[in-house]
Amino acid sequence: MSNSKKHTDFEALCAGYVLDALSASEKETFERLLKDASPEQIQLFEEMTTVKDELVLASSPLSPSATLEDKIINGLTSNEKPVKDIKQASGLTPAVFKIAAAILLIVTASLSYYSYQLSDTLSSQENRLTELTNQLERQEQLLDILSAREITFVNMNGLDPSPDGYGKIIWDSQRGRAVLQLANLPTPPADRDYQLWLIKEGEDPISAGVFNFDQPSTDLFFQVEQLNEQPSQLSNTFAVTLEPKGGVPQPTGDMFLAGAQD
């Protein structure tokens, strides 16, 4: 390894070593470099260590000396900036102040990164909690409908636009409630919705609501809130079509699912 490469690696790892932020392998690499360090590198390491210790001790309030206090007050009452005097009175060289600034920058960046990670984790947990809550609500709705005395089951099979599609209606007609299960349907375009229809023998199709989802799934459940219809004594067919956003009074788009009551 060339001397210039050693010098670069030493400086790159020094701050992390002082802050105890290196991996085990990086720590071993730096300790090897430290054994062969030049006087300038050793001085850099010692100054960084000193500044870190001073930053830790600085967490407790320190009263300035009378001399430093006078210099600050005199500087504030004159047109000259007292920064240089303050540095000299504190006993720290400009180089040490630069090192302290570098360490503070590293610490700030690390805290920002960990804060971002924590925020991202909390957001993921909140999304998961919302998902579980929605699943629980759907299960409660399904169990409530299944507890009804009379239930109509209708299976819907996939048609040409989506031959692998599948749907099921669980309908409590006495209380005007139903649950729709969809599976293997493609995600609808941004300007389209899936629309459910009830088709009674000899009557026009009746809209039972529109449904949308962001990604395909093998287990999608929706509560049907627009099915306050009594089943026909002759036949009841359910169908799902792809319609303009918000739905239409009568079906106009391709039919993806269809099935009749047994």
The per-residue pLDDT for range 160-185, each reduced to its tens digit, is: 999 999 999 888 888 878 888 899 99
Does residue 81 register a pLDDT over 90? no
Q: What is the mean pLDDT of residues 58-80?
A: 52
Query: By mean pLDDT, which of 68-82, 184-198, 236-250 is the weakest?
Result: 68-82
| DSSP H helices in the chain | 3-18, 24-35, 39-57, 66-77, 83-90, 94-146
Query: By mean pLDDT, which of 11-15, 18-22, 61-65 is the weakest?
Result: 61-65
Confidence (pLDDT) at 92: 46
Rounded to the nearest 10 degrees, what angle do helices 39-57 and 3-18 cross at?
10
Give the whole-angstrom CA distance, residue 194 versus residue 213: 9
Does residue 90 register a pLDDT over 90? no
The half-sphere exposure of 158 on its side-chain side, counting CA atoms within 13 A, is 12
Residue 172 burial (C-beta neighbours within 10 Å; 0-12, 13-18, 19+): buried
Q: Bigger pLDDT: 74 or 255?
A: 255
Q: Beta strands 166-172 and 206-211: pairing type?
A: unpaired
Percent of the chain with pLDDT over 90: 26
Q: Which of 13, 21, 22 is nearest to 45 (CA)?
A: 13
Confidence (pLDDT) at 129: 77
Q: Could you read off the pLDDT of 108-147 as tens digits, one per residue?
A: 555 555 565 677 677 777 777 777 776 667 667 666 766 6
Confidence (pLDDT) at 89: 43
Number of helices followed by number of strands (H, E) in the chain: 6, 8
Confidence (pLDDT) at 84: 47
Does residue 258 register a pLDDT over 50? yes
Percent of the chain with pLDDT over 70: 62
Give the whole-angstrom CA distance, residue 210 versus residue 197: 9
Does residue 82 register a pLDDT over 50? no
Mean pLDDT score across all residues of the chain: 76
Q: Which residues contact 157 (CB under 8 A, 6 or more apart)?
A: 165, 166, 257, 258, 259
If pLDDT is split at 50, 70 and 90, which confidence band does 102 have?
Answer: low
| Domains of the chain with bracketed CATH | 3-62+93-115 (no CATH), 152-260 (2.60.40)
Q: Which of 182, 178, 187 is nearest to 165 (CA)?
A: 182
If pLDDT is split at 50, 70 and 90, which confidence band does 46 have?
Answer: confident
